[in-house]
Structure 1
Amino acid sequence: MLELFGYSLSYTSVALLFLVAFFIGMAKTGVHGISMFAVPLLALIFGGKASSGVMLPMLILADLFAVKYYHRHANWHYLIKLFPSAALGVLIGTWLGNVIDDQVFRTVMSVIIFASLAIMLWMEKGDKESIPDYLWFALLMGLLGGITTMIGNLAGSVMALYLLSMRLPKNEYIGTAAWFFLAINVFKVPFHIFSWQSIDLNSFMLSFISLPFIAIGAWSGIHIVKRIQEKHYRWLVIGMTGVASILMLI
């Protein structure tokens, strides 16, 4: 066993922690879906709510790498629409996290993502020039994104559905998502500290020591995405979103 910042962790647990950090780095720089393995792995080590507190600083560190590389590609037209309702979603998610069973929440969200994914696939076969750039749609996706990112860090699939529906090119998709998650993850920090009490100095330091593995993952993600063609990347995201929604039911 290793004693790290007040945590007694086995060597296997430490290895899994660093593997999670690597996955998060890859996911934030464009290898969408790989982070779906991070949430259950970290929960296996620390438990549900505690793992979300360990993961949040890791996500923010990875967001910084993504923003640094893709910041010029962000589409602020969509971000401005998403931020207000996403902030409200974080507030709702903070409350829900104290009153709802985690598995019930994951089941409901899985159904919502499946339904949204079905709609998006239907759109793929329709008029590809038609973009559902409606304010109500952005507000709904922002709200769901805020709720899901607060409870279980599950907003990746929701944002993937929205940004793919806007038919953003590969780099613009990654850059817009990077700015969205950096802003909303920083916004979440006080709620984790003061409401859920899932982040303290010890948990933060445990997250921080994973920085080298986040960096390696981010570097790997950038180079992998460069080799994926635009049309193939879009279907990669769609496929991984479907897998993620299935894993939520497990």
Structure 2
Amino acid sequence: MLTDPFFYAVAIPAVILVGLAKGGFAGIGVVATPLLALAVGPVKAAAILLPLLIVQDVVGVWAYRKTWDKGLLILMVPPSAVGIFLGWALAALVSSSAVELAVGVVSVLFAVQRLWAERAVKAAAAVEAGPARPWLGALCGMASGFISQIAHAGGPPFQIYVLPRRLPRDVFVGTSAIFFAIVNWMKMPAYLALGQFTSDVLTAVAVLIPLAFASTWAGVWLVRRVPAEGFYKIIYVLLIVVGTKLAWDGFFGLM
């Protein structure tokens, strides 16, 4: 694997995309697993990426350690643990393709609706935050954990609840960084129990760690240079792209 040029041809862009996502451009990392799977298969790809995600989480959490929403984490993290457990328990019964299709369609519809609302008022700042609805936050937290365990795509449910809160840019990114850092650590026991961290997987992780650090810092640097008023529009557009990708993969996976 480590001597295969094709492995690096897909692994390098995959890690860079995840790094940019961890740096603040939420969502684009969803293509990393299927991209890396072209070289090593989906199971090994997920096993390689999880330790890299945890390394990149350290950078993201450190960079945004002073800007995060405690209330959102208290609301959404415990249900995410329930979702991760359900994803592990039901892995043999739940089709990842069906989950991807449903999440993709909902994500696209949600993002299009929000962009239309912002266009209607001519300014993102004029869009009022939606009602808090804690029950929806708990449900989205559980869905995020479940989908992250099943299909490694837990970002859209988290964003569907948090984006309408209209948090300041850095608070949104910091809250997302801490939430998914916790989620990724909670996924580790299942991977360890399944014996997926083989010697070749850990060697690949060690080789890619420097790129993981560098790409995440690059994401942080870029996000902080995006005007705050345009940041949410970028995230909504990325959510449409991610949702379309998930729906596409899910649809053809069911065929």
TM-score normalised to structure 1 length: 0.89
Could you tell me which runs of 5 or more consecutive residues in structure 2 were left unpaired when the two chains were aligned: 250-255
2:20 maps to a residue whose letter is M
Q: Counterpart in 1 of 2:244?
A: 246
The answer to whether residue 40 in structure 2 is matched with residue 46 in structure 1 is yes
Q: Counterpart in 1 of 2:81?
A: 87
Q: Report the alpha carbon displacement of residue 34 of structure 1 after superposing the two structures with TM.
A: 2.8
Identity %: 25
Aligned equivalents of 1:184 and 1:104: distance in 2? 22
Aligned equivalents of 2:229 and 2:176: distance in 1? 18
- Aligned to 1:71, what secondary structure does the other structure show? coil
Q: Report the alpha carbon displacement of residue 74 of structure 1 after superposing the two structures with TM.
A: 1.1
- Aligned to 1:228, what secondary structure does the other structure show? coil
Alpha-carbon distance change, 230 to 43 in structure 1, aligned in 2, over 3 angstroms: same
Deviates more, 1:21-30 or 1:174-183: 21-30
Contact 1:48 1:152 in 2 (8 A): no
Aligned equivalents of 1:122 and 1:135: distance in 2? 25
After superposition, the C-alpha distances for 1:193-236 in whole angstroms (9 at most, x for unaligned) are 21x44334442332232111111211211221122111211000
Q: Report the alpha carbon displacement of residue 135 of structure 1 after superposing the two structures with TM.
A: 1.1
Aligned equivalents of 1:36 and 1:187: distance in 2? 19
Contact 1:81 1:135 in 2 (8 A): yes
Q: Counterpart in 2 of 1:24?
A: 18
Q: Counterpart in 1 of 2:158?
A: 159
Contact 2:105 2:244 in 1 (8 A): no
- Aligned to 2:25, what secondary structure does the other structure show? coil
The answer to whether residue 235 in structure 2 is matched with residue 237 in structure 1 is yes
Aligned equivalents of 2:146 and 2:206: distance in 1? 25
Aligned equivalents of 1:17 and 1:130: distance in 2? 39
Deviates more, 1:126-135 or 1:93-102: 126-135
The answer to whether residue 183 in structure 2 is matched with residue 187 in structure 1 is no
The answer to whether residue 149 in structure 2 is matched with residue 150 in structure 1 is yes
- Pick one of 206, 223, 226 that aligns with 1:225: 223
Q: Report the alpha carbon displacement of residue 160 of structure 1 after superposing the two structures with TM.
A: 2.2
Q: CA RMSD in A?
A: 2.0
- Aligned to 1:98, what secondary structure does the other structure show? coil
2:140 maps to a residue whose letter is M
Contact 1:110 1:246 in 2 (8 A): yes
- Aligned to 2:91, what secondary structure does the other structure show? helix
Contact 1:31 1:225 in 2 (8 A): yes
Contact 1:22 1:215 in 2 (8 A): no
After superposition, the C-alpha distances for 1:21-67 in whole angstroms (9 at most, x for unaligned) are 22211110112233133122112122223321211111111110001
The answer to whether residue 107 in structure 2 is matched with residue 113 in structure 1 is yes
Q: Counterpart in 1 of 2:253?
A: none
The answer to whether residue 212 in structure 2 is matched with residue 214 in structure 1 is yes
1:171 maps to a residue whose letter is D
Alpha-carbon distance change, 242 to 41 in structure 1, aligned in 2, over 3 angstroms: same
Aligned residues: 243
Deviates more, 1:83-92 or 1:151-160: 151-160
Contact 2:103 2:156 in 1 (8 A): no
Aligned equivalents of 1:130 and 1:31: distance in 2? 21
Alpha-carbon distance change, 31 to 118 in structure 1, aligned in 2, over 3 angstroms: closer
Aligned equivalents of 1:152 and 1:49: distance in 2? 11
After superposition, the C-alpha distances for 1:132-173 in whole angstroms (9 at most, x for unaligned) are 211111111101100111122211222222221111111101
Q: Report the alpha carbon displacement of residue 94 of structure 1 after superposing the two structures with TM.
A: 1.2
Aligned equivalents of 1:165 and 1:17: distance in 2? 34
Alpha-carbon distance change, 197 to 119 in structure 1, aligned in 2, over 3 angstroms: farther
